[in-house]
């Protein structure tokens, strides 16, 4: 009988698709230098982000190194956690891990190869973000949701706890 649901292969494919969407949209924004106002302050505007989240460390020269370190550690932790719970049958959890890893890798690519982030989605009174931010956030929300739903217990592994 064939197993249904998401597998590690699906996780890798989804993460790679997230990286591709992130990098392609950043290239489009970068080369078109978009500056479009949409509805209620939302818009598209290409911004070079030399800081980290919310511009932290922007003037210290630490942003790029700090960002790479944080994302690398996060990817390792999430990946190890996934491997620990790999027998888990929760597709939302696997999807969350895939989105988180895809978003983190997208951000790392910018920091390693460019030394800065590329943002272009304007959220009024908040920030300018990109798809790596969106994918990472969705991933964390899905992971937390599934862990909270399972009660943070042995049920997460499908075992006795």
Residue labelled with tokens 């706890």: 161
Q: What whole-number distance in Å separates Cα of residue 71 and Cα of residue 27? A: 21
CA nearest neighbour of 116 among 6, 26, 43: 26
Q: Is residue 39 predicted with pLDDT exceeding 50?
A: yes
Q: Residues 31-53: what's their mean pLDDT?
A: 83
Q: Is residue 24 predicted with pLDDT exceeding 50?
A: yes
CB 64 within 8 Å of CB 109: no
How much is the pLDDT for 94?
Answer: 86
**pLDDT tens digits for 116-148?**
889 999 998 888 899 999 999 999 899 889 888
How much is the pLDDT for 115?
Answer: 83
14, with CB counted inside 10 A (0-12, 13-18, 19+), is buried
> Model confidence at 64, in pLDDT bands (50, 70, 90)?
low
How much is the pLDDT for 9?
Answer: 86
Q: What whole-number distance in Å separates Cα of residue 41 and Cα of residue 126? A: 11
**pLDDT tens digits for 80-117?**
777 666 546 788 888 998 999 999 899 889 988 998 88
Any idea which residues carry the catalytic annotation? Answer: 119, 133
Q: Is residue 3 predicted with pLDDT exceeding 60?
A: no
Q: Is residue 156 predicted with pLDDT exceeding 50?
A: no
How much is the pLDDT for 16?
Answer: 97
Q: What whole-number distance in Å separates Cα of residue 26 and Cα of residue 128? A: 12
How much is the pLDDT for 1?
Answer: 46
Q: What whole-number distance in Å separates Cα of residue 138 and Cα of residue 93? A: 11
Q: Residues 37-64: what's their mean pLDDT?
A: 76
């Amino acid at each position: 009988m064939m197993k249904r649901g998401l597998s590690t292969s699906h996780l890798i494919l989804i993460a790679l698709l997230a990286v591709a969407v992130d990098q392609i949209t950043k290239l489009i924004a970068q080369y078109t230098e978009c500056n479009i106002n949409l509805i209620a302050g939302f818009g598209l505007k290409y911004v070079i982000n030399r800081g980290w989240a919310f511009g932290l460390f922007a003037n210290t020269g630490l942003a790029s190194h700090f960002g790479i370190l944080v994302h690398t550690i996060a990817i390792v932790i999430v990946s190890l956690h996934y491997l620990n719970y790999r027998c888990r049958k929760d597709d939302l959890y696997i999807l969350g891990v895939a989105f988180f890893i895809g978003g983190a890798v997208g951000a790392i690519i910018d920091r390693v190869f460019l030394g800065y982030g590329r943002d272009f989605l304007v959220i009024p009174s908040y920030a300018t973000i990109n798809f790596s931010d969106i994918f990472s956030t969705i991933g964390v929300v899905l992971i937390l949701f599934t862990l909270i739903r399972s009660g943070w217990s042995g049920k997460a592994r499908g075992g006795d706890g």
